[in-house]
Amino acid sequence: MIKKRLFVVLIILAALSVTIVAAGCEEIVFPISYGKTGLGYVVRNGEVHIEDYSDSTVRDTVTVPDEIDGMPVTVISDFSIANAETLKTIYIGKNVREIGAWAMTNNQRLQAFEVDEENEYFTSVDGVLYTKDLKTIVAYPPCKGVEKDSSNRVISSEAGESYTILDGVETIRSKAFYKCGYLKEVVIPDSVKYIEEKAFHYCSSIEGFLLPDGLLEIGKDAFAYCWSDAFTELNIPASVQKVGEYAMYNTNAITKIYVNKSADELEKLEESGDWGKKWYPTNNGRERDGYEIVYAA
């Protein structure tokens, strides 16, 4: 009986070994590890992916290195360096080529991104993260230009109340201004074509947007929770072809929306799904009164 059980165990182990070898032909993933930086990482096909940040209440700077154990650090995954309470600066090494849209969100003391000059994919301009070709704004540090004391109380925020996106940028990336609650104004250049999902999510102090002619798409939840009392109107250019679902979720102060299309054109866009479900102002997703849609003559 013992020999029979042993034989069965050996067969199972052999099968598992084959599975591991077969999987290894495609991808090898080691368990998450932590270094002295507080960064948790895994290894995939000889490359390091940052997956976690454990030291979220002590450091004010974290460095994503060029390499770990001789392997290039190429990916900063979603939520890996997010919700850190004390970080003021995030430094990105030269080998990083992919950054998740949620990767570095809601770091409420963050003042700047820094990027190695040799990085071929990303760059920092005055602390703001862009793609290397300056066609996409990737992430804005929520506390840029804001001075706080040791208890996280704001001493001065005037320098952090306005930002002008670089001319030539075509895409405002998903979550680029996520929870940037001190900004009252973001100047969007005429070059911008795409505002992606949740691009300005929870920019609760924004007093409005001047959207450029030539804008093509507004993503889902793009202006959600932009509920400043000063944000009362939005002019959507005639060039806009798509507006995502709940684009103005909880933008409670908006009273007028200019769509620059006829009522018939808008109805067709809604029926096709190009203008998504409840793209207009809602109260927690529920229909609300108190606003007017102004159509083209």
Question: Domain with 129 in it: what CATH number?
Answer: 3.80.10.10
Domain boundary among 144, 173, 192: 144
Tokens in use for 102?
């949620």
DSSP 15-41: HHHHHHHHHHHH--BPPPEE-TTSEEE
Whether 134 and 165 map to the same domain: the answer is no
Confidence band of 57 (pLDDT split at 50, 70, 90) = confident
Q: Phi and psi dihedrals of 25, rounded to 5?
A: -65, -25
pLDDT greater at residue 146 or residue 18: 146
Whether 52 and 119 map to the same domain: the answer is yes
What's the number of CA atoms in the CB half-sphere (13 Å) around residue 271? 6
In a domain, 286, yes or no: yes
In a domain, 21, yes or no: no
In a domain, 12, yes or no: no
Q: Give pLDDT, residue 16.
A: 33
Which of 46-50, 178-182, 264-268, 293-297 is predicted with the least confidence, judged by mean pLDDT?
Answer: 293-297
What single-letter DSSP state applies at residue 259? -
The torsion region of residue 225 among left (phi > 0), alpha (psi -120 to 50) and beta comes to left
Whether 173 and 292 map to the same domain: the answer is yes
In a domain, 89, yes or no: yes
Query: Using CA atoms, how far apart are residues 109 and 129, in angstroms rounded to an integer?
Result: 16
Whether 67 and 130 map to the same domain: the answer is yes
- Scored b (16 or more CB within 10 A) or e, 210-234 reads ebeeebebbbbbbbbbbbbeebeeb
Domain boundary among 144, 179, 214: 144
Place of tokens 């029979």: 4
Confidence band of 24 (pLDDT split at 50, 70, 90) = very low
User: What average pLDDT does range 200-207 have in this prediction?
Assistant: 97
User: What average pLDDT does range 173-186 have in this prediction?
Assistant: 97
Q: Phi and psi dihedrals of 132, rounded to 5?
A: -60, -35
Closest by CA to 222, choosing from 254, 192, 244, is 244
pLDDT at residue 18 above 90?
A: no
Tokens in use for 145?
């230009």
pLDDT greater at residue 97 or residue 3: 97
Whether 234 and 208 map to the same domain: the answer is yes
- Scored b (16 or more CB within 10 A) or e, 266-286 reads beebeeeeebbeebbbbeeee
Whether 295 and 179 map to the same domain: the answer is yes
In a domain, 18, yes or no: no
Name, in order, each residue with C-beta under 8 angstroms of 249's C-beta and a sequence gap of 6 or more: 221, 223, 224, 225, 278, 282, 284, 285
DSSP H or E run through 269: helix 263-272
Whether 159 and 107 map to the same domain: the answer is no
Domain boundary among 144, 169, 202: 144
Query: Using CA atoms, how far apart are residues 189 and 5, in angstroms rounded to an integer?
Result: 72
In a domain, 224, yes or no: yes
Whether 123 and 160 map to the same domain: the answer is no
Share the mean pLDDT of the chain.
89
pLDDT at residue 19 above 70?
A: no
User: What average pLDDT does range 96-124 have in this prediction?
Assistant: 97
The boundaries of the domain holding residue 252 are 155-297
Whether 211 and 271 map to the same domain: the answer is yes
Q: Give pLDDT, residue 1.
A: 47
Whether 130 and 195 map to the same domain: the answer is no
Whether 138 and 166 map to the same domain: the answer is no
In a domain, 241, yes or no: yes
Q: What total number of domains does the chain contain?
A: 2
Confidence band of 30 (pLDDT split at 50, 70, 90) = low
Query: Using CA atoms, how far apart are residues 276 and 269, in angstroms rounded to an integer?
Result: 8
In a domain, 149, yes or no: no
Tokens in use for 56?
């979220």
User: What average pLDDT does range 220-244 have in this prediction?
Assistant: 97
Whether 101 and 182 map to the same domain: the answer is no
